[in-house]
Structure 1
Amino acid sequence: MLYLVYFAIIILIPIWAQLKVKGTFAKYSRVASSTYRTGAEVAREVLNANGLYHVGIELGNGFLSDHYDPRTKTVRLSPEIYHGQSIAAAAVASHECGHAIQDAEGYAFLRFRHALVPVANIGSNFSWVLIMIGIFAHLSGMLLLGIVFMAAAVVFQIVTLPVEFNASNRAINQVVSLGLIRNNEERETRKVLNAAALTYVAAAAVAVLELVRLVLIFTGMNRNDD
């Protein structure tokens, strides 16, 4: 019964976060900003104000596929954000510019996250293979190795949190100081950014819960062997 409750929790948390993001984005994508700038225009103004003239802005593909690519120094915005003149478009576009500013300043958590990418990729791809072999073959050493690889991926998820929250704080400061949002729009912009942050919080929470569960399985396996 406890396992059913546990799996229900780790399934429902990400679903709730995704629904929250989509609902908030849908609501504020219908609310035009008072400056009527598109997401691409907002991004360009924020980047230019920070001396990042070399950072490009490209039209991306896919719903809410917005991201900053540090390798090519490019902000890629989904069609809804790139062309949109809404509060949601301004919020998301400025958030991605927040990552570009972090990159330019050498923000410590961003650099740490970049360094973790290769290890996190290995952990995500191979940890479950080792874990399943360890559990079904009752090989505690193999299970432990899988847990170590998974822990690297969990650390990546946790480090992502300050990176994302910091980018959102930078975004708010930029759009307010540059006059890209006005009046009560700051509160609405924060709602969009906070909803988006929930997806990262949910992912980190689920990853930590799963890691704790596997550690308990490992310790239980060792007790049984003794």
Structure 2
Amino acid sequence: MYFDSTYLLLIPAMLIAFWAQTKINSTYNKYSKIRTVGGNTGAEIARSILDGAGLFDVRIERTNTKLGDHYDPRDRVVRLSPEVYAGATIASAGVAAHEVGHAIQHQKSYKPLVLRTTIAPVVNIGSQASMILFFIGVLFSFKGLTTIGIIFFSVTVIYQLVTLPVEFNASTRALSILKSNGILYGDEVKGAQKVLDAAAMTYVAGALMAISQLVRLIALSNRYNE
């Protein structure tokens, strides 16, 4: 039975991804059960921070996807999951403030966010086409197609790498605002930081996985085009 040894390149990233997902689940579950002293919901916190930044036109919507919280720069809307939208917990405060951090990045034309938003459409197309082109190239020994597939997938890697400063910066902004505006106090800030740090590790894991996959594609290309 044939074994593709290039899969071994993915194992470290897969282990880190599994650990990161376990970490965010356990940390989020812990702090989603601890109510804040202020008692404000995630939606209320988000609205307060947005208004304080002069972003009165940015809407807040509730999405039905758990941990599906995000900021949409095209529609200028902060979308919060049910637990974050209605929850008055440390976790909901941290996540809501983090997503508003992205809205503030957008307001200030934060360069990594601008770059990520610009290349997002290309990534959506390239990530799907890259593997198809690559394996067609391998199947028919057409090096040109494997090379194009690798180039397309490289854009996905760039997107993952650009995502890291975007997410870290949004968390830094969120924690600073939560503390300076008196939304969270003392250990509550530390709890929110743990939630956001755990979430950040999932993006690090995603970047490592993308890099590992790219290295694997290059290794396969070299093998079948010798």
The normalised TM-score by structure 1 is 0.94
CA drift of 1:84 comes to 0.5
Aligned partner letter, 2:60: I
User: Relative to structure 1, is the Cα distance of residues 74 and 4 closer, same or farther in structure 2, using a 3 angstrom cutoff?
Assistant: closer
Structure 2 CA distance for aligned equivalents of residues 155 and 52 of structure 1: 30
Structure 1 residue corresponding to 2:123, chosen from 120, 123, 126:
120
Aligned equivalent of 2:197: 194
Aligned equivalent of 2:18: 15
Structure 2 CA distance for aligned equivalents of residues 152 and 215 of structure 1: 14
> Larger deviation: 201-210 or 10-19?
10-19
CA drift of 1:137 comes to 2.1
Q: 5+ unaligned residues in a row in structure 1: which ranges?
A: none
Q: Indicate whether 1:182 and 2:223 are aligned.
A: no
Structure 1 CA distance for aligned equivalents of residues 75 and 36 of structure 2: 30
Give the length in aligned residue pairs.
223
Over the matched positions of the two proteins, sequence identity in percent amounts to: 45
CA drift of 1:20 comes to 1.2
SS at match of 2:219: helix
Structure 2 residue corresponding to 1:40, chosen from 40, 43, 46:
43
CA drift of 1:221 comes to 3.8
Structure 1 residue corresponding to 2:145, chosen from 142, 145, 156:
142
Structure 1 residue corresponding to 2:65, chosen from 62, 66, 74:
62
The normalised TM-score by structure 2 is 0.94
Please provide the CA RMSD for this pair.
Answer: 1.5
Q: Indicate whether 1:133 and 2:136 are aligned.
A: yes
- Contact map agreement 2:94 2:196 (CA 8 A) in 1: yes
Aligned equivalent of 1:110: 113
